[in-house]
Structure 1
Amino acid sequence: METPAEYDDIRCYEAKDLKATFDALLADEQFCGILQQLFPEMAFEQLKAGIYSCKEVIDFQEKFIYTYIDKLMSKVSLGYDLNCEKIENKRKAYTFISNHRDIVLDPALLAMLLIKNGFSTTQEIAIGDNLLIYPWIKHFVRLNKAFIVQRSLGLREMLAASKKMSSYMHFVIREKQNPIWIAQREGRAKDSNDKTAEAVLKMVAMGGTGTPLGNLKEMNIVPMSLSYEYDPCDYLKAQEFQLKRDNADFKKSKQDDLLNMQTGIFGFKGHVHFAMGTPINDWLDELEDAPKGEFFGEIALRMDREIYRNYRLFPGNYVAADLLRGNADHASHYSADEKNHFEKYLSGQLAKIIIPNKDEAFLRERILEMYANPVFNHESVL
C-alpha cells in the first residue's frame, strides 16, 4: 500500500524509494567507508551489486542489516531473546511502547526477534531528528523502516508535527497493518528509572477519529520491557550527569551523539532480553469513566507496572542495589564471584571517564543507580 504524499517528509522509505536512496548512500564517501569496514570480506563492487539487487526494504534488512547485527551480537553479547507468550495473534499490527536503552540496537534487535518468533513483518520505528546528524544517517534509518519525530520546532509547529506523526502511526497500524516501535519517553532514562510519559500517549491518541480511548484501542498498544545485562554507554551517561551538574549550559555535541551510538553498538552488552507485556486493550475499557485529567496518567502508571514486572534482572543489578544502599538485602541473588566481577566491571567503566574535576564518588553512584533502579522498580510491583 502506497503511503499518502502528506507524510513524505516523515515516513519510512518504501520499495519505490530504494533506487534513489541507494544512489544517495553510495555517493556518500563517509557511508561507503563505513560499509567497507562492516563487510571487509566483500569487494566494494560486490557490495554495491548486492545492495542494488534489493527490491524491497525487507530484502535489504535481511541481506545486510540483520546478517551483520547477528554476527556482531555473537561477539559483543551473550545472546538476545524475546518473551512474547502474552501475544496471541502474531499477525496483528501492534504498537510496542518500551523502555529504551540504545536507539540503534533496541529496534534493530526487536525487528530480528519479531521475524525469529513468527511475527509477519518487522516494525516501523520512531526516531528523533536530533540523532540524524549526517544526511546518510537520515537516509539509512528511513531505509530501515524509521519514521521521523520532528523535535527541533517551535511550540505551534511542534503541535502540528505531533498530530501529523500520530495520524501517520494510525495509518501504519490501520491501513498498512505494520507494527510500530516507539520509546516510552523522549530520550533515554539515563538513570534507568523508566517511566512512560503521558505526552507520548497523548500524541498517540491524537491521530484517530474517535475518543481518546477509542484512538488508543485502535493502536493495539503493548508495553514492552528491555533488559540489558550491561549498558556499554553507562560511563558516558554518568559523565554527562557530572558535566551537566557542573555546567548548567552543557549540551552534547554531534560528535558526542555519534560516540554514544558507536559505543552502544560495539560495546559489550552481556545478555539482552525483550519481554512483551499484556496488551493494554485487555484492560483499557476499565478507564472509560476515569476523570479526564487522570486518564492518560493512569494508563502510563499501569504500563509502567507491566514493564517493571517483566524486567529480566541480572546478578549485577542486585549487586548494584546493595552497593548503592550499603546493605546485603539482595545477597541471595548473586555469588561472591558475581559481586567481584561486577565491582571490577564498575571500576573499569569509571576509568574510561576522563573529564576535568572528575568526581569519582558522584560518577560511581550514578552508574550504580542505572543498574539498581530496575531492581527497585521491579520490587515495587511484586
Structure 2
Amino acid sequence: MKIPEQFDPIRPFEPDELPDVFDRLLQNEQFSSVLAYLYPDVPKEALAAKMHACKDNLDFQKTFCYGFLVQLLARLSKGCDIDIASLDTDSRYTFISNHRDIVLDSALLDKLLIDAGFNTTCEIAIGDNLLKLPWVKDLVRVNKSFIVERALSMREMLMASKRLSEYMHFVIAEKNDNIWIAQREGRAKDSNDRTQEAILKMMVMGGDGSIIDRLKQLHLVPLAISYEYDPCDYLKAAELQARRDNPSWQKGPMDDVTSMQTGIMGYKGYIHYQCADCIDSYLDTIPADTPKTELFRLIADHIDRQIFAGYRLYPNNYVALDLLHGDSAHADHYTAEDKAQFEAYLKGQLDKIEMEGKDDAYLREQMLKMYANPAINQMGL
C-alpha cells in the first residue's frame, strides 16, 4: 500500500523500514539495557535475530509485546478481561477511552483484541511530549503508534490536527486497522472522565460529508477501562498538590518516564475493558438541524455516559466514596475487610509521596476522589 508522504512524520514505521529501525534500536545503550532487564538470560544476538525475523509491526507485537504482557499480568494483576459482545471482530473501530495508564491502556487493549479473535490490533495515538528520547520514539512507531503533535503555534496546531484527522480516516478506510485514542489530552488525574470536544472536532477535520458522516467513518466505540488499583495514584495526587500550590508548575523531564515505569511495574488488581456499542447508530438519531455548537457536546456527553455505564466498580470504589463523604451509605458493596485493606493501601501509597509542604489531608482527599469518581459518575446516569 502506498501511504501518502504527508503522513511520514507521524505514522508508524512500515515493514520495509523495520530492519533499519531494529538496527538503530539495538545500537542504543538504553534500549539494550531494557532488553537485558526484560530478557536477562537471552543473548542480545538471539534477541536481535528474533527482532529481524519480524516482518511487520503486528508480528513484532505478537513476538515481543504479547508475551511480556502475559507475564506482567500474571505477576501484577488478578486478571484482565474484555467484553466485546457489541462488536464484530471483522470490522474496524476507533476505540475512544478513559485514560488511566500512559502505556498499558492501549497495550492491554492490543492483547485483548488478539485474545478476542481480531486479526489485528490498534494503531495508537500518542502525544509527542512522551517521546523526548529518540529510541522511545522509534520503539513506539514500531509498536503501531502514530504521533499527536503538541506545543505548537495556533497555525501549526491547525495543520497538525488536520493531518492527524486525515491519517485516522486513512487508517480505518485504507489500512483496515483499528485505532485507540484517549477521550482527552492527558490522563484525568482525578478519574472524573470527560470527553473533550476538541478531540471530536479534530476527528472531523478529515473525511468527507457532514460532521455526522465524518464521525461515522471512524466507527467510534466508547471504551471503559477499569483498574482495581492505579499504581500511579500517589503520583497523580502529588501533581494535583503541586499545581494547587503553584499554578505555573510544570512537570520535570523525567516525570512522565517515572509514571510509565510505575504504571507498568505497579500492582493493578483486577482490570476490565468494557466496549459499548459503536456510536454510528446513535449519530443517526441526532437531528440534522442541530447547531454545531450543541452537536459536539451532545456526542461527547453520549460517549461519557457509555463509558460511565461500562465501568466495573470494585469494593474500593465504594469504600472511597464512603470515606470521602464520611458515611457508610454504600457499605452493602464491601466488607469490613475490604475497607481495612483499602485504608491500609491508601496509607501505603500516601507514605510514598515526598514533597515540600506535603499536605496529607489534601493528598488523601484527592486519592479518595480518584477511586470514588467512577462510582459517582455511574450512579449519576
4+ aligned runs moved over 4 Å, structure 1: none
- For residues 242-263 of structure 1, what are the alpha-carbon distances to aligned partners after superposition, in whole Å with 9 as ceiling and x for unaligned? 1111122211112111101100
Aligned to 2:149: 150
Gaps of 5+ in 2: none
Aligned to 2:102: 103
Matches within 5 A, 1:271-286: 271-286=270-285
Aligned to 1:364: 364
Matches within 5 A, 1:165-244: 165-244=164-243
Quick one: distance in 1 between partners of 2:330 and 2:149? 43
- For residues 206-237 of structure 1, what are the alpha-carbon distances to aligned partners after superposition, in whole Å with 9 as ceiling and x for unaligned? 10121111000111111110000000000000
Pair 1:72 & 2:72 matched:
yes
Quick one: distance in 2 between partners of 1:336 and 1:14? 54
Residue 254 of structure 1: SS of its match in structure 2?
coil
Aligned to 1:161: 160
Residue 181 of structure 1: SS of its match in structure 2?
strand
Quick one: distance in 1 between partners of 2:354 and 2:112? 37
Shift of 1:289: 2.7
- For residues 311-365 of structure 1, what are the alpha-carbon distances to aligned partners after superposition, in whole Å with 9 as ceiling and x for unaligned? 0000000000000011111100000000000000000000000111110000000
Aligned to 2:111: 112
Contact 2:69-2:111 at 8 Å conserved across structures: no
**RMSD (Å) for aligned C-alpha atoms:** 0.8
- For residues 154-212 of structure 1, what are the alpha-carbon distances to aligned partners after superposition, in whole Å with 9 as ceiling and x for unaligned? 11100000000000000000111101000000000000000001100111111012111
Pair 1:342 & 2:329 matched:
no
Quick one: distance in 2 between partners of 1:77 and 1:123? 23
> What letter matches 2:326 in structure 1?
G
> What letter matches 1:345 in structure 2?
Y
Aligned to 1:33: 33
> What letter matches 2:16 in structure 1?
K
> What letter matches 2:126 in structure 1?
I
Quick one: distance in 2 between partners of 1:302 and 1:370? 22
> What letter matches 2:203 in structure 1?
V
Shift of 1:2: 3.2
> What letter matches 1:194 in structure 2?
D
Quick one: distance in 2 between partners of 1:48 and 1:63? 12
TM-score, normalised with respect to structure 1? 0.98
Quick one: distance in 2 between partners of 1:152 and 1:292? 27
- For residues 254-301 of structure 1, what are the alpha-carbon distances to aligned partners after superposition, in whole Å with 9 as ceiling and x for unaligned? 211110110000000001110000111111011133122100100000
Percent of aligned positions with the same letter in both sequences? 53
Gaps of 5+ in 1: none
Quick one: distance in 2 between partners of 1:249 and 1:304? 29
Quick one: distance in 2 between partners of 1:300 and 1:249? 29
Shift of 1:41: 2.0
Contact 2:102-2:260 at 8 Å conserved across structures: yes
Quick one: distance in 1 between partners of 2:30 and 2:208? 44
> What letter matches 1:338 in structure 2?
D
Residue 231 of structure 1: SS of its match in structure 2?
coil
Residue 71 of structure 1: SS of its match in structure 2?
helix
Quick one: distance in 1 between partners of 2:194 and 2:215? 18
Matches within 5 A, 1:305-316: 305-316=305-316
TM-score, normalised with respect to structure 2? 0.98
Matches within 5 A, 1:20-59: 20-59=20-59
